[in-house]
Amino acid sequence: MTARKLSISVPPEVEETIKAAAAEEGKPVSAWLAEAAVEKAQAAAAHAAGLAAARELVEEYEAENGPISEEHRRNAREFMMEAGLLDDDNWQSAG
């Protein structure tokens, strides 16, 4: 695999956390950071795919049954927050 060099800037406390985590896993810092970046990118892609699938399900439901009422949307939001699937920040950014 061909590697490309990147330069990043982090606060000193983050640098120490990264170095300690890499050392604990017995990996060079660059390898540890590359793995962390891949994991973060994969998680973001999975999250985006999940949101797209959820939106598609809602669109299909509404096409067959009409718009979901605001009361039902609030109930769904409360359920998702109680289940730990959503927090206020996620809800606000989802619109």
Residue 60 has a CB neighbour count (10 Å cut-off) of 10
Q: What are phi and psi of 67, to 5 degrees?
A: -60, 145
Segment 12-51, tens digit of pLDDT = 999 999 999 999 999 999 999 999 999 999 999 999 999 8
Residue 57 clears pLDDT 60, i.e. is over it? yes
Q: What are phi and psi of 7, to 5 degrees?
A: -115, 130
Domain boundaries, the chain: 20-94
pTM, two decimals, is: 0.70
In 3D space, the residue among 11, 3, 35 whose CA is nearest the CA of residue 21 turns out to be 35
Which residues are CB-neighbours of 35 under 8 A, at least 6 positions away?
Answer: 27
